[in-house]
Amino acid sequence: MRILICNDDGIAAPGLARLAAAAQTISEDVWVVAPERKHTAAGPSLTMAEPITMRRTAERWYSCSGRPADCVVTAMTWLLAGDDRPDIVLGGINDGRNVAEDLAYSGTLGIAREASFWGVPAVGFSQVKSPDIQPGDDAWLGGLIADLWRKREEWVLEGHWLSINLPSALPAEIRQPKIGRDKIARRSEVVEQDGDRTVLVVPRGRERTTVEGDENSAIDAGYITVNRINWFGETRLGDSFLKL
């Protein structure tokens, strides 16, 4: 099984190394393409008609000057193009949970979304900050990835991908929660004003809003959460609308 791993926290992120180590417990054919630096809330954005620099940092490890989704594009069009295409794409492990509106903003899930455009099964992994990491976690997570691959006929659909949030401690039971509402980018701070010019900063973080049965409540209770997401969420308009 050929596995491509990308992230949005950058090539030096501990979560990237952990996910690669987990994947290497089940496959010797693991490739890593990650951004040179951290890209928070980069979503699925791409670098178009501008140079992208790829740098080999170790065997089968490459840094990319572009954004998280660019890592998938450069792999599919250059590094692992054609018959060398990966069997599955893994994003993460993101430093912090991805819930609620993060499903649209997250660079980790933007990676999985981009992989779905190429018809490749994809999973975005995120974990709460400052997790309780234990020596056996890599092997356990590798087993989870292997189980996902074996059961792919149950979850792989065109244009879909999985968002998986890991709690602080592994192993853990799995739940499929409802998608909650926990808005990021909910306020701005004025850091400088000079006449008609105003400089703003949108702080990191969220309110940690939660209701029973949503992702935050399940993660806080120590469960792994799994949601299957898609990008083509069309909702048909009624016939009366066409008569405006």
**Which residues are CB-contacts of 50 (< 8 A; sequence separation ≥ 6)?**
none
Give pLDDT tens digits along the chain (244 positions).
999 999 999 999 999 999 999 999 999 999 999 999 999 888 889 999 999 999 999 999 999 999 999 999 999 999 999 999 999 999 999 999 999 998 999 999 999 999 999 999 999 999 999 999 999 999 999 999 999 999 999 999 999 999 999 999 999 999 999 999 988 888 999 999 999 999 999 988 777 788 899 999 999 999 999 999 998 777 888 888 878 6
Which CATH number is associated with domain 2-178+211-231? Answer: 3.40.1210.10
Measured CA to CA in angstroms, residue 182 lies from 56, 97, 148, 201 at distances of 38, 11, 28, 19
Domain boundaries, the chain: 2-178+211-231
Contact 149, 1 (CB under 8 A): yes
User: Cα(114)–Cα(126) distance, rounded to whole angstroms?
Assistant: 17
- Calpha distance 85→31 (Å, rounded): 11
